[in-house]
Amino acid sequence: DVSPPGLSSGSPRGLGVSSRCMAGRQMLVVPLLSLVLIVAGDGSGVAESEVNERLVLKRRAKEDARQAFDSSHQAAFDEYGRLIRYGHDIDRVECSEHPGPRFSCRVTEYSPRKYLTREERLLAQQIRADKQEEIDSSFGLEGPGAALRRQRVKKEQKAKCALLEEWLAKFQADSSPQHRGFFAEYLASNYEDYSALRAIAERGKANSRTKRKAKTLKRHIALHVHEDKLPPMCRTSDLKDMSATIQTHVQDLEDCIHEPHKCTILNDEL
């Protein structure tokens, strides 16, 4: 036996040294395993964070695209708060990813709706309130809240000009006689008052109540498209020409309502 005195392999003291060596090895292994797990966990967390960031950026880009679309495709009203046309519902939004990362999204599919959203109803109420205040205060651009009213009026005028420019593009692209394609296919689907007046004329017969309604619709249309009612920022010669053509056509529709047997403008289209 070459073990030092008192440290024989069979002695309790010898067993104590062996146990301490084993415990030291285990303590060394455990921190190493913990370090490996921590490193692995950190890598997973970084990857998950990157995925979450991409999802947030994409969601924001989608929301921006929706808001931009809604601002230009919401329901349109005249200066008295009457509906010109309904807005559109978004059916599909597509996004492209770019380095950064960043996303660019756009609305690729949409459909017309036949109802007003809560925001659109509030907008119509605000326009009517502004118009009434304007009438009550002899133009309404002075006094308390005048700056805010002027700002709203300017915004409404810009929206009206954008709408009329859209009409003008369709009007000029139509080569049919008297722009009948523009009236039958486009304006009838994009101007509620005109659509209602045209429907009365197409029925061929009208009682006194319906004729009064037609007269009211004609007046509403004139208040919207008459040259004097065009916003100053879009009183171009092209828009004035379109305005005159629309009013002539509307007068022809009213003649069809009062004398359907003499109506030719609709018969030529059918």
Q: pLDDT, tens digit, for every residue of 222-247?
A: 988 998 889 889 999 999 999 999 99
Give the model's pLDDT for residue 141: 55
Q: Which residue blocks in 113-225 are alpha helix, DSSP H?
A: 118-136, 146-173, 180-181, 188-190, 192-203, 208-225
Give the model's pLDDT for residue 166: 93
Range with the lowest mean pLDDT among 14-28, 155-169, 203-217, 231-245?
14-28
pLDDT in tens, 86-126: 889 999 999 998 887 889 999 999 998 888 888 888 888 88
Report long-range pairs for 217-225 (Cβ below 8 Å, ≥24 apart): 217/193, 218/250, 218/251, 218/253, 218/254, 220/78, 220/82, 220/193, 221/191, 221/193, 221/194, 221/197, 221/246, 221/247, 221/250, 222/247, 222/250, 223/78, 223/79, 223/80, 224/78, 224/79, 224/84, 224/193
259 DSSP β-pair partners: none
Which residue, chain included where needed, has tokens 């305005």? 243
Give the model's pLDDT for residue 1: 45
Average pLDDT over residues 40-52: 62
Structure tokens at 173: 């692209």
Residues 230, 236, 242: CA angle, nearest 5 degrees: 75
- Report cis status (omega within 30 of 0) of the bond before 101: yes
pTM of the model: 0.63
Average pLDDT over residues 242-260: 92
Tell whether the model's pLDDT for residue 27 goes beyond 60: no
